[in-house]
Amino acid sequence: MTPPPSGPVCAGASTAALGTAVTTVGYPSFSSYVRARGPVLLRTARSLTANPCDAEDLLQTALAKTFVAWERIEDHRALDGYVRRALLNTRTSQWRKRKVDEFACEELPEPAGLPEPDPAEQQVLHDAMWRAVMKLPDRQRAMVVLRYYEDLSEAQTAEVLGVSIGTVKSAVSRALGKLREDPELTPVR
């Protein structure tokens, strides 16, 4: 097993990539090819991506693929075409592997909700409701507050007030009837 080259990766390719076809074209090594054609190839990579950093990564990947195939490439006059094809294939593979979070479908996944109510209108309604509740007799008001604002059951309300469940039912029914007839709450219906 041979030890890894001590210099840059591209410099290690110069001894392995020498050949008669290479020297006649003017690229005696992979590193000389990259030095000579790198800026042109980087412009090509930039045209394939929106981000300059992604373009540099794309070019680096394509050049790594070219380096692996350097000895198999017979016609070094076609190196630019080989690297461009590697750029395009790599970019296409990246595009295909990307995660797609949105899918086209015939119907919307969530129904269009009702518009959020205006906080000012909610406050007006809240105030009107409290004014209407305050108009109720003390006993009915206490039962409505315990049942609907404190969310107690009829049995719990009866126990808190020391009355029967039937008394709570009838008193709450009469109180709700009065609230329905309150003129301030008419627009709510």
Task: Say how far apart CA 70 and CA 31 lie, in whole Å.
Answer: 11
pTM: 0.41
Instruction: Please state, in angstroms and rounded to a whole number, the distance separating the CA atoms of residues 69 and 74.
Output: 10
Distance CA 175, CA 115 (A): 31
Split at pLDDT 50, 70, 90, the class of 187 is low
108-118 pLDDT tens trace: 667 667 777 78
Angle (nearest 5°) at CA 140 between 135 and 142: 95
> Is there a contact between 169 and 113 (Cβ–Cβ < 8 Å)?
no
pLDDT classification of 165: cutoffs 50, 70, 90 = very high
Span 65-79, pLDDT tens digits: 989 988 888 888 888
- Tell me if 13 sits within 8 A of 67, measured CB to CB: yes
Q: What is the dihedral of CA 156, 161, 163, 165, to 10 degrees?
A: -30
Q: Which long-range contacts (CB under 8 A, 24 or more apart) does 91-100 make?
A: 91/48, 91/49, 91/58, 94/58
Instruction: Give the whole-angstrom CA distance, residue 129 versus residue 150.
Output: 15
pLDDT tens-digit readout, 14-62 = 334 444 343 345 578 888 899 999 999 999 899 888 888 989 999 999 9
